[in-house]
Structure 1
Amino acid sequence: MTSPTPIAVTGATGAVGARVAQQLHDAGVPLRLVVRDASRAPRWEGGAAVEVVEASYGDSAAVRRALEGIELAFMVSAAESADRVAEHAAFIESARASGVGHLVYTSFFGAAPDAVFTLGRDHYATEQLLRASGLGFTALRDNFYADFLPMLAGEDGVIRGPARDGRVAAVARADVADAAVAVLRELHAAAAGASGGGAGAGTISPHVGAVYELTGPEALTLAEVAGIVSELGGRGPVVFHDETIDEAYASRASYGAPPWQLDAWVSTYTAIATGELARVTPDVERLTGHPPRSLRDLLAAAAGPAR
């Protein structure tokens, strides 16, 4: 038996949300894609029903309409901005008002009120909002994306930042999507059992209130990242330069970014330096049944078969 209601997937035009939507559709799960621009939403021929609705997190009326009748939703964190927590708060309240029962939220590894990575504080605040909302929730605390690490190198092939010899257990976006799909499918099946009185009816999913920390299989220094990207990235030599904090702010000042964004950029590296992102966890394999992908795996797959 399947639940009569679809799973709502936000961020379905993004890297993680699109993967989640694709896998759920392939598994025959009915979906409601909540996107800002319906023209960019993925489309499939045949299979389970797919609805596409437009809503941005800050538009409470649109979100309430988009989530009407939804029991389970995948909440991808909003784009980085000075107002992100306010957007999250509006979305969570709209979800509650619409009768949503459970949100699966993409949080950040080590989310805390005093996280060195300044945007980790936004994720902590959002988790607190979820706890206070009365909704069921699951937090997927993603480490930095391994897919992003090669992009840290500038056009000159240098990764610059005050990371010292700290390590980062970066996670592949594909593994985050796989973990989210595993959680969503189990919650969806549990809801179907409860509504139909079948096996599992009346039981509480272990994902309710759970916080999972999603990492890759190893913790790398940025010097090691540079070595792997040099070997497999297809762009020539890449090296790591350990800036001071003052140098980091100065080298980014020319972009004209607001102070909150400069702090986020620099604290990407200082969070690595302090060891906040170094811990490797088993949660990807626990949820998905397969080991997490390494940076080397990602780059080798992107390069294609050897010739």
Structure 2
Amino acid sequence: MSKTLLVTGASGQLGRSVINHLLDTFNVPAAQIIASTRTPTNLADLAARGVVVRAADFNDGTSLENAFQGVDKVLIISTSEMDLKDDRRLKQHETAVAAAKKAGVGHLLYTSMPNPEPVSPVLFANDHYGTEQAIKASGIAYTIFRNGWYQENLFMALPQAIASGHWYTSAGEGRIAHGGRDDMAAAIAAGLADDSNESKTYTLTGPHAYTTAEIAALVGEVTGKQLEVVQVSDEALTEGVKAAGIPEDFARIIVSFDANTRAGRIAMVTDAVETLSGRKSKTLKQFLEANKAALAG
């Protein structure tokens, strides 16, 4: 029996990529795919392909419940709200889970993060941990994708670091297996298209974990530009990020990534992306080579 699949946040980069893989990689009929967003006009291109577009706002439980009506499987892509002064994002996610329960959704999928338990140094980890707990408490079958850090996240630091020749970090000898956003989207789409209703949790990573120094060496190999890694304290890094014009709360979030890396909480490497998607993952070196001009100027 064909199932109806809904993707929230469909106008975002991950959401669009998941829908494109449903259509083009896994050959899911467009009529079985629902794309939800606060602004449906932003998805005119998907509507033109036959995808059903519905309005849904994570701050409006009724709009979510209406969007989820008649849907078998819902992928909740975590929202971009990261206000450290309240639990806004967690509340949004809990609203979506409650709406799915009321609408009779049979399976919930969610994009979380690796090791989100309360001891995590990452300042927004509880948003993900709390959402996972809400999903499990709902009684709905679930698939949780604990997405590792994207290779694309390196754009936040590398261009400036390459330009100056110095990469300031507090990650120490911690390792990260950066993965391609599109690779993770393919894995998520595979899970969404799968007929299984068994509850599972996957950690999605890239194929190899590197220290900051090893990433810098790869950057030098690809760009020909020497990049010196400078290890500093969390406090010094926070001040440096703030001095670059980043608001304090977001600066603290950025530095908490490094603290998490230093603690070894994101050093894992799994084969979940390749197992789910059926394709080889893009290596970090391939990512750097493909984006050499954007990174090195």
| TM-score, normalisation: structure 2 | 0.87
- Which residue of the partner structure matches residue 290 of structure 1? 279
Distance 1:240 1:60, change over 3 A: same
8 Å CA contact retained: 2:28, 2:193 = no
Counterpart Cα distance in 2 of 1:127 and 1:223: 33
* Closer/same/farther in 2, CA of residues 136 and 233 from structure 1, 3 Å limit: farther
Aligned pair 1:126/2:128, yes or no?
no
Q: Which deviations, in whole Å up to 9, do the C-alpha atoms of 1:180-229 show, x marking residues without a partner?
A: 1111111xxx3xxxxxxxxxxxxxx2x63211011111111112222323
Alpha-carbon distance between aligned partners in 1 of 2:155 and 2:223, rounded to the nearest angstrom? 7
2:138 matched to 1:149?
A: no
Q: Which residue of 1 aligns with 2:247?
A: 257
Alignment of 1:46-125 (within 5 A): 49-82=50-83, 83-125=88-130
**Maintained 8 Å contact 1:213/1:281:** yes
Deviation of 1:12 (Å): 1.4
Distance apart, 1:302 and its partner CA = 4.1
Write out aligned runs for 1:163-178 (5 A).
163-178=171-186
Aligned counterpart for 1:181 among listed residues 189, 200, 208? 189
Paired with 1:281 and 1:64, the residues of 2 have a C-alpha distance of: 35
Count of residues in Structure 1 that have an aligned counterpart in Structure 2: 281
Amino acid at match of 2:63: A
- In the alignment, residue 221 of structure 1 is paired with which amino acid? T
**Aligned partners of 1:71 and 1:100 also within 8 Å:** yes
Give matches, 1:37-52, under 5 Å: 37-41=39-43, 43-44=45-46, 49-52=50-53
TM-score (norm 1): 0.84
CA contact (8 A) 2:34 2:53 kept: yes
Aligned partner letter, 1:214: L
SS in 1 for 2:160: coil
State the Cα distance separating 1:154 from its structure 2 match.
Answer: 5.3
Does the 8 Å contact 2:22/2:190 carry over to 1? no
Do the aligned partners of 1:166 and 1:273 also contact (CA within 8 Å) in 2?
A: yes
Aligned residues: percent identity?
29
How many Å apart are 1:77 and its aligned residue? 0.5
Cα distance between partner residues in 2 of 1:272 and 1:84: 23
What amino acid sits opposite 1:229 in the alignment? V
Do 2:218 and 2:285's aligned partners in 1 also have CA atoms closer than 8 Å? yes
| Corresponding residue of 1:19 | 17
* Contact kept in structure 1, 2:76 and 2:111, CA below 8 Å: yes
Structure 1 112/42 Cα, relative in aligned 2: closer, same or farther at 3 Å?
farther
The alpha-carbon distance between structure 1 residues 256 and 22, as it changes in their structure 2 partners (threshold 3 A), is closer
Matches within 5 A, 1:158-237: 158-186=166-194, 190=195, 205=196, 208-232=198-222, 236-237=225-226
Q: Which runs of 5+ in 1 are unaligned?
A: 191-204
Contact 1:146 / 1:170 at 8 angstroms: preserved in 2?
yes
Retained in 2: the 8 A contact 1:18–1:42?
Answer: no
After superposition, the Cα gap between the structure-2 partners of 1:159 and 1:13, relative to the gap in structure 1 and judged at 3 Å, is farther
AA at the equivalent of 2:150:
Y
2:45 is paired with a residue whose SS is coil
Q: Is the 8 A contact 1:147 1:295 kept in 2?
A: no
Contact 2:82 2:124 in 1 (8 A): no
Structure 2 CA distance for partners of 1:233 and 1:131, relative to 1, 3 Å = farther
Q: Distance in 2 between matches of 1:45 and 1:33?
A: 9
| AA matched with 2:201 | V
The one-letter code matched in structure 1 to 2:176 is: V
The alignment yields a C-alpha RMSD, in angstroms, of 2.2
Given that 1:215 and 1:292 are in contact with CA atoms closer than 8 Å, whether structure 2 keeps it comes out as no
CA distance 1:159–1:37, change in 2 (3 Å): farther
The question of whether the paired residues in 2 share the 8 Å contact of 1:150 and 1:229 is answered with no
- Structure 2: any 5+ residue segments left out of the alignment? none
Amino acid at match of 2:173: D
Determine the C-alpha separation between the residues in 1 that align with 2:229 and 2:80.
28
